[in-house]
Amino acid sequence: MTTMTLQATNHWAWWRKVLFRFSCIYLLLYMSPLSWLGGIPVLSWFSDYYGEAENWLVNLANANLFHIKDVLVPLNGSGDTSYGYAQLCFFLLTALVGAVVWTIFDKRANYAIAYYWLLVAVRYYVAMVALRYGIIKLFGQQMIFPPLSALATPLGDLLPMRFSWYFIGYSTPYQFFSGAVEAVAGVLLIFRRTSTLGAFVAASVFLNVMMMNLCYDIPVKLFSIHLFLFSTFLLLGDAKRLLNFFVFNRPTQPAVRYTLPGTWSKRGQLALKAAFVLLFLVIPVYEFAVSSTQGSKPKTLATGFFSVEQFRGSSVDSLRWKDVVFEPSTSGSILTSDTLFRQRYRRGYFNYKLDSLTNTITFRKNSFDTTALFTMHYTMPDTNHILLRGKIRTDSVIVGLKRQNRHFQLAERQFHWLSEANR
Strands 2-5 and 256-259: parallel
Among the ranges given (154-158, 348-352, 414-418), the one the predictor scored with the smallest mean pLDDT:
414-418
**Tens digit of each residue's pLDDT (9 = 90 or more) over 344-394:** 999 999 999 999 899 999 999 998 888 999 999 999 999 999 999 999 988
Rounded Cα distance between 60 and 54, Å, is 10
What domains are defined for the chain?
A: 2-293 (no CATH), 304-409 (2.40.128.20)
pLDDT for 9: 58
Instruction: Tell me what the mean pLDDT of segment 7-32 comes to.
Output: 89
59 vs 78, 89, 90, 222, 389, CA distance in Å?
A: 18, 11, 9, 19, 49
pLDDT at 276 over 70: yes
The closest of 297, 247, 147, 127 to 199, measured between CA atoms, is 127
Q: List Cβ neighbours of 192 (8 Å cut-off, separation of 6 or more).
A: 257
Residue 420, SS3?
coil
pLDDT tens-digit series, residues 167-218: 999 999 999 999 999 999 999 999 988 999 999 999 999 999 999 999 999 9
> 397 forms bridges with which residues in the sheet?
390
Residue-wise pLDDT tens digits, 289-324: 888 777 667 889 999 999 999 999 876 777 899 999
